[in-house]
Amino acid sequence: MMIINRNILTLDEFTIQQLRQFPQATGELSSLLRDIGLASKRINVEVNKAGLVDILGDAGTVNVQGEDVKKLDVYANNQFMGVLKHGISCAGIGSEELDEVVVFDDEVSNNSKYVVMFDPLDGSGNIDVNISIGTIFGIYRRVSPIGTPCTKEDFLQPGNRQVAAGYVVYGSSTMLVYATRRGVNGFTLDPAIGEFCLSHPDIKCPSSGKIYSVNHGNFFSYEKNVQQYITACQKKDKTNGGPYTQRYIGSMVADVHRNLLKGGIFMYPGTIDKPKGKLRLMYECNPFAFIIEVAGGTATNGTQRILDIQPTELHQRTPMFIGSKEMMLELENFSKV
Ligand code: P6P
């Protein structure tokens, strides 16, 4: 009998295994995740070369192969748009890079039941200093009739309507993490075979932690309760849970990924001049809020569950507090003061 090495499942094998457990499933979601994995692998190649941009030519120039050199986030956007448009599972996309949604409006796409929101390359400003960056995506079942072009209403759904969400972190290794309501699973890219392989099955966010992530430079612009919580994190000693440590690298995907695995809290609060903060609801906060809740954590805007926010605009911003359940409760206690 042939022994099949089932030790290391690839992303494709994993999604197909999940599919086998739901005979009634159409396989569209599995196909969508495979498309996203393919685009991520192509982006990974370019991100890893980013340090050579002087040799390869800067955005807006023509490289030695005579190709137009695009900014990496434009390249990433085009990769995702391309695989999703030519796949069989997506009716249209919304992107951080594009002012308006893109309705694919062809027969196959119009008969697809999903739409995808994504930030193709979040933190791309960190590329030239070699700090990890990432892709963030959220998948929604469309609300408009199958067989017709998707509409903007398909995209302006609250995050609690997501079917799946995930991110790719281009770091010391390249990892794709995605969640459905059944669980959160992480896949590390094995360059030897060019496949994402299951490395972090069934990820759970530790209920507490000792890492707090925030931009201290804005401290005096934060609301009083946020300042009080941050100060309390700094005053922790052995009598009240031991000292916390501050970790913030200015790349949300990397910061939240670390806290998801190790436990911790990530905050991007509103400030006096930007009360809605900086992060985007639809393709930065909603996907991570979905992932963290499936993993056992919580995510709010300071007063409301992120996933319950009813969006009104594609690119609207929201304050974001996300992480280990007990640390989020600590923060909430301050806001009740
Ligand atoms: P600040 C990157 O530009 C980003 O959108 C997130 O990835 C990151 O968490 C945040 O901005 C950092 O913003 O204002 O602290 O530099």
The pLDDT tens digits of the residues spanning 26-54 come to: 888 999 999 999 999 999 998 888 666 65
Q: Bigger pLDDT: 46 or 304?
A: 304
- What number does the ligand 1 atom closest to the CA of 133 have? 7
Residue 64 pLDDT > 60: no
Kindly state the helix (H) or strand (E) to which residue 187 belongs, with its residue range: strand 183-190
d(CA 326, CA 328): 5
Mutate to test the pocket of ligand 1, among 248, 255, 268, 280 (most ligand atoms within 8 A of CB): 268
| 134-150 pLDDT per residue, tens | 999 999 999 999 999 99
Longest dimension (CA), the chain: 68
pLDDT of the residue at 58:
58
Average pLDDT, whole number, for the chain? 91
Distance 126 CA to ligand 1 centre (A): 10
Residue 279 pLDDT > 80: yes
Q: pTM of the entire structure?
A: 0.93
Mutate to test the pocket of ligand 1, among 213, 278, 282, 288 (most ligand atoms within 8 A of CB): 278
- What number does the ligand 1 atom closest to the CA of 266 have? 9
Range 11-200 classified under CATH 3.30.540.10 = yes
Provide the residue ranges of all domains of the chain, joining segments of one domain with +. Answer: 11-200, 211-335
- Please state which of the ranges 5-19, 61-75, 105-119 shows the lowest mean pLDDT: 61-75
CA 279 to chain centroid: 12
The third-level CATH classification (topology) of the domain covering 211-335 is: D-Maltodextrin-Binding Protein; domain 2 (3.40.190)
Residue 70 pLDDT > 70: no
- What number does the ligand 1 atom closest to the CA of 122 have? 7
Mutate to test the pocket of ligand 1, among 73, 121, 122 (most ligand atoms within 8 A of CB): 122
- Please state which of the ranges 63-67, 139-143, 181-185 shows the lowest mean pLDDT: 63-67
* pLDDT over 70, % of the chain: 91
* Ligand 1, pocket residues at CB < 6 Å: 122-123, 125, 215, 250-252, 255, 278
DSSP state of 4: P
Distance 207 CA to ligand 1 centre (A): 25
CA distances from 247 to 128, 210, 235, 251, 264 (A): 20, 10, 16, 11, 9
- What number does the ligand 1 atom closest to the CA of 253 have? 7
CA distances from 60 to 4, 53, 72, 74, 119 (A): 48, 12, 11, 11, 21
| 188-199 pLDDT per residue, tens | 999 999 999 999
| 252-267 pLDDT per residue, tens | 999 999 999 999 999 9
pLDDT of the residue at 57:
47
